[in-house]
Amino acid sequence: MLVAFCLLLFHTGTYGFGILPGKSLNHFEITENALLNTTVHVCRALALADGTAFTFPSQPYTAEAVAVSCNAPKSSKSFQQAITSVTLHNVRVDLRHALNASFHFDEEMFVQGKKIITEGIQAVKASNKQENFEAAREKLGEILHPLQDFYSHSNWVELGNKQPNPNLIRSDSSIGKIADKSRATCRNCNGDDCRNNILEDIINEGILTSGYFGIVPVVSTKPKGKCSHGGAVDQTSKIEPKGGINKDSFDASHGHLHSKAANMATAATSQLLEDIRGAAGDRPFLQMMGISKGSGKALCFVIDTTKSMSDDIEAVKAVTSSIIDSEAGTDDEPSFYILVPFNDPDFGPLIKTTDAKVFKNVINSLSVIGGGDEQEQSLSGLQLALSGAPVNSDIFLFTDAPAKDKVLKNTVIALIERTQTVVNFMITSSNVVNSRRRRETPKKISASDAQVYRDLAQASGGLAIEVTKSELPLATSIIQESTTSSLVTLLLTSRNSGNADKFFFLVDKTVSNLRVYITGLGLSCTVISPKGESKACTDTSGSLFTTSQSVGNFQNLKLKKEVGQWEMRMTSANPFTLKVMGETTIDFLFDFVEESDGPFKGFDALDTRPKAGVNGTLLVTLLGLDTGTLTEVALVESAGTKEIVGVVEPQETGKFLVRVEQIPSEEFVVRVKGQDSASTIVFQRQSPTNFRASKVTIAADSNDVLVPGTLFSVSFTVKTDGPGGTFTIKATNNQKFHSEFPTSLLLETGKSTEGTVNLTAPLNTPSGTDVRLTIEAEAPGGLDTNYIVLRISVLNPITDFTPPVCQQLSLEADCPKDCTLDTWDLSVRVTDRDDGMGVERVSLKQGSGVMTTSLDPDNGNITLVSYNASCCSPNMELQVVDRVGNVGTCFFSSEEGVTSPVSMSTKVTYSVFLCLTMVLLEMYMSTVGVIQLSPPPTREGV
């Protein structure tokens, strides 16, 4: 069972986490290598198709080097994040499903293990099709685990196979001959003689078997004569037939085959990724990997569309146009554009596009609607945006009204914490002209109503900017600044009561475009540069600032570049927020992780708040500095001065495990300090998000897919280490799906209590819909809250498991000796099977000719392909994909007298070749979808 390849995700102690020569490979490394490799090949294919140059990064690949060779250097952070998400979800399987044999291909669970993989592939493809890339990554990680385990835990390698089993990722074919439950597969063995403990007849007949695994000898269910996993933890290997067959590491039972198994697992991972890539297409595949054109960031608006908002919407139109006009085509252009409108009672839908022109049109056609202007569904709109925006986004919410749905406040905070998203509020008041007195009186939302927005801004590290409608255009420059890539937080703090206070931040030589944002009323501040130059924030004389702008409660300074420690002195009678940002590629990513208390050691990323008052662990990735190190990681109280400094343990290059003795009970931020190897750069960064810990723990798992129209149950457990009592339970989801759950649970201190959320999706819900279910538990009096944020994929049952087929209609190839003198023509008909869902896409995989595709005018389910290429380019390969993502390839050649299409990734054979006359075909041709590849008229490979 278990833990293929390595029991520890992060071996602490002597092993470290590097890919050292002679060191065993684990799931983490196998997955990362395959992801990097496939991504490089996709980028290369796109570069070739675009006729642009491509340079392979040097080996071993890193996320940063691959992002650069993909011509998307600004995506290196989101690429790293995608890799981390896939690998953490892979490793999580060992922690969450340690003893479920199906997830590890133990106990001859071949059918069950394969089902997890093939269903998961369908879910990944469906999520990609709906552009729900984060859901795709998580599922991908989960199914790569059993895929990789197959090669370590089964006898595939011992059977003499040199290639991965292609049927492991296909629904329409058999995995192979599986040993009967009653058939003996192993003999007793000891020491070296265990290399040959699998019975000869099993090997000779090519029959699949795998090891049994159990951690408790008495409940071992190993049938007579079956193989065991082996190793010290596995108790079944101590009963006859003794010994094991796993290849998890060099010192495993079949450790002499570890390299073979690990290499085969890497190849199998690449094969699965190729299938996902084929179904998605190259650019969407890269998006799944976090690589996109532009800054890698999203421009995300959540906008109140009630009548009084017309001025605000005009300001949004202006700033959107300005951003798009000045950044289109540059590395600073947002990679995604998102809009969520809301009013009352409606909110949504979420509109997401990568196309600046489309977004401009969407924004320009936004109009206000009538209706009451009292209270709006602002938090529902925000919840939708938080569920749909990429992690680490900046969201801007525009409103002039209180939230009607304040009950969603904790849900919104949960999503903010889990996605590390920054939410900025642009709260406007209108100047109402009182006709009697001819005086303007601002119509403003009350302080208590504004407080909800201020709290959410503060939790997310965003700003609550309160201005009049006429001042709004002056405040929107912050939106443009937020879309810049490589923006990092140097300092973020807030104070609720106004006292005099000093704050320090460190500027290293890589940081440029320093900005200070302050919100708060009636405050005065002073900036002191590293050289000791001091200026009041309002004093623009001298060279300390290039800009100082103040509008409403918002103040914005641009500081000159000076390396060293800066100081801000703040005096205020009111609450205020201070945020210092800069641009640099040196940045960090982190997750709270939990050490497994199961039979296997490892770390699992949390979907909840970490535990308050006890020790805790963070996994930190340093970005933008190959040879750098972290010297300190601290949890710093957001509204105070208390700091808890952790112990930093370096892992694989750029990764650090940080253990803190006690997670604070107060709200905190994460601050890191570090330096490059030569100590010429000493840097400090901070998380923008504020985090909270909790004495309540909540656990739930949902690795299944949700089938529309059927009941989906999620069971969860809640426990508190604080005082017991009646806890309020709330379950919300971003899809407005009907749900049932207990509204309260009675908890005793230290004792787990169970509950269930029942969820039903309407029958018409499309496959690939991403459901984010938040389950919250609130202590009596709201004194403590925790939540779990789950992601569930919707998948309608699929009956089409076969890719489309190609039929050659005609081939005209009369090529002369000198191949440069002529061209050849081919026409092909592509259809999905009778029970298929139709052809989604036909693309040219190989060949430098011109391909044209069109739909058969009489039958929209038939795609006609015509191809013309130089005689010097005799081979062509089509990739054909149907609507549920079954991928096939067809090969044609001008050189073979009779060409036969073969499908490389399918076992389908094509026996029928229809030949229609060219005359008929030409009638059908249209110029829909011309793919022009740069056609050098030379023989390929010469």
| Site residues (vs ligand NAG, CB under 6 A) | 34, 37-38, 41, 100, 102, 116, 266-267, 270, 274, 614-615, 659, 703, 711, 713, 740-742, 756, 758, 838, 859-861
Q: C-beta of 455: minimal distance to ligand NAG in Å?
A: 31
781 DSSP 8-state letter: G
Q: How far apart are CA 413 and CA 137, in angstroms?
A: 23
> 923: Cβ–Cβ under 8 A, 6 or more apart, which residues?
none
Contact 412, 456 (CB under 8 A): yes
Q: C-beta of 764: minimal distance to ligand NAG in Å?
A: 16
Closest by Cα among 8, 2, 470 to 229 = 2
* CA 401 vs CA 369, 376, 409, 725: distances in Å: 14, 7, 16, 36
Instruction: Give phi and psi for 832, each to the nearest 5.
Output: -90, 160
Q: C-beta of 168: minimal distance to ligand NAG in Å?
A: 16
> What number of other Cβ atoms are within 10 A of residue 782's Cβ?
9
Beta strands in 560-667 (DSSP E): 564-572, 576-583, 587-595, 603-605, 616-623, 629-637, 643-645, 647-650, 655-660
Q: C-beta of 556: minimal distance to ligand NAG in Å?
A: 43
CB of 130 or CB of 861, closer to ligand NAG? 861
The encoded tokens of residue 92 equal: 């999580």
CB of 8 or CB of 116, closer to ligand NAG? 116
Q: C-beta of 323: minimal distance to ligand NAG in Å?
A: 36
CB of 64 or CB of 274, closer to ligand NAG? 274
Q: C-beta of 274: minimal distance to ligand NAG in Å?
A: 5
> 601: Cβ–Cβ under 8 A, 6 or more apart, which residues?
7, 8, 595
Q: C-beta of 617: minimal distance to ligand NAG in Å?
A: 8
> What number of other Cβ atoms are within 10 A of residue 159's Cβ?
18
Please return the burial class of 513, using the count of CB atoms within 10 Å of its CB with bins 0-12, 13-18 and 19+. Answer: middle
Q: C-beta of 855: minimal distance to ligand NAG in Å?
A: 8
706 DSSP 8-state letter: B
CB of 524 or CB of 713, closer to ligand NAG? 713
> 492: Cβ–Cβ under 8 A, 6 or more apart, which residues?
461, 577, 578, 579, 580, 638, 669, 686, 688, 690
CB of 37 or CB of 259, closer to ligand NAG? 37
Q: How far apart are CA 287 and CA 283, in angstroms?
A: 6
CB of 283 or CB of 659, closer to ligand NAG? 659
**Position of tokens 């343990």?**
649
> 206: Cβ–Cβ under 8 A, 6 or more apart, which residues?
159, 176, 177
CB of 613 or CB of 937, closer to ligand NAG? 613
Please return the burial class of 779, using the count of CB atoms within 10 Å of its CB with bins 0-12, 13-18 and 19+. Answer: buried
Please return the burial class of 922, using the count of CB atoms within 10 Å of its CB with bins 0-12, 13-18 and 19+. Answer: exposed
CB of 668 or CB of 741, closer to ligand NAG? 741
CB of 727 or CB of 741, closer to ligand NAG? 741
CB of 217 or CB of 860, closer to ligand NAG? 860
Closest by Cα among 921, 737, 752 to 825 = 921
Q: C-beta of 429: minimal distance to ligand NAG in Å?
A: 44
Written as one string, the DSSP assignment of 710-753 is SEEEEEEEEEESS--EEEEEEEEETT--EEE--SEEEE-TT--E
CB of 353 or CB of 861, closer to ligand NAG? 861
CB of 267 or CB of 474, closer to ligand NAG? 267
Q: C-beta of 687: minimal distance to ligand NAG in Å?
A: 22
Beta-bridge partners for 649: 657
Q: C-beta of 31: minimal distance to ligand NAG in Å?
A: 11
CB of 269 or CB of 486, closer to ligand NAG? 269
CB of 371 or CB of 838, closer to ligand NAG? 838
Beta-bridge partners for 843: 879
Instruction: Give phi and psi for 559, each to the nearest 5.
Output: -90, 150
Q: Whose CB is nearest to ligand NAG?
A: 860
Q: C-beta of 939: minimal distance to ligand NAG in Å?
A: 23
Q: C-beta of 755: minimal distance to ligand NAG in Å?
A: 7
Q: C-beta of 183: minimal distance to ligand NAG in Å?
A: 22
Beta-bridge partners for 830: 806, 863
